[in-house]
Amino acid sequence: MIEQTLVLIKPDGVQRGLIGEIIKRFEQRGLKIVGMKMIHVDKTFAGKHYTESITKKHGEKVRNYLLDYITSTPVIALTIQGSNAIALVRKIVGSTYPGEADIGTIRGDFAHVSKAYAKMKSQGHNLVHASENKEDAKKELALWFSIDEIHDYRLAAEEHFL
C-alpha cells in the first residue's frame, strides 16, 4: 500500500549537517520525497504539532522542552511516499531514545543519548520526528504541507520497488 508520512529533521540534525545523510537513508530504501521545505517554526505552530496529548503522555515539562527545541532553529519538513512508508520510515529512524536505537538506524548511527539522560535533562535530541501511524501521518501532513506543496512524479527506478 502506497502511503505518505511526515519526517522532520529537527534542529540537531540541521545544526550537525546531517540533512543530506538523513534524506539519503530514505531514498536508499526506495522511498520518494514528494514534499520538502525548510521552515522556522513559531510557538503557535509548534503547539499545533506538539499538542496537549504530549502533556498527558509525557508531562508538561517534556512538552515545553519540545516546543522550545523545535522553535530554536529551522527544521526540514519532508513528505515521504512509498510502499508501507510509515512503518518503513519508523524502522529507518530507529527507537525514540537514541541509546536504544539499533546500529544502522538514523538515531542509532548519529545520536547516543540514553533514555535516563534524556529524561533527566528533558532533552529530545533525537535528530528526526516521524509520524507514528496513519492517523498521525494524516494530521501532521495536513499541518505541515498544503496540497500545492506535494508533488507527484515517477522515479526512474520505481518500477523495481512497486
Catalytic residues: 129
Give the full edge-to-edge strand order of the sheet including 128-130. 32-39, 75-83, 2-9, 128-130
Q: Is 96 helix (H, G, I), strand (E, B) or coil?
A: coil
Q: Are 75 and 38 in contact (CB under 8 A)?
A: yes
Question: What CA–CA distances, in Å, run from 117 to 29, 67, 105?
Answer: 31, 19, 20
Q: Give me the phi and psi of 155, to 5 degrees please.
A: -75, 145
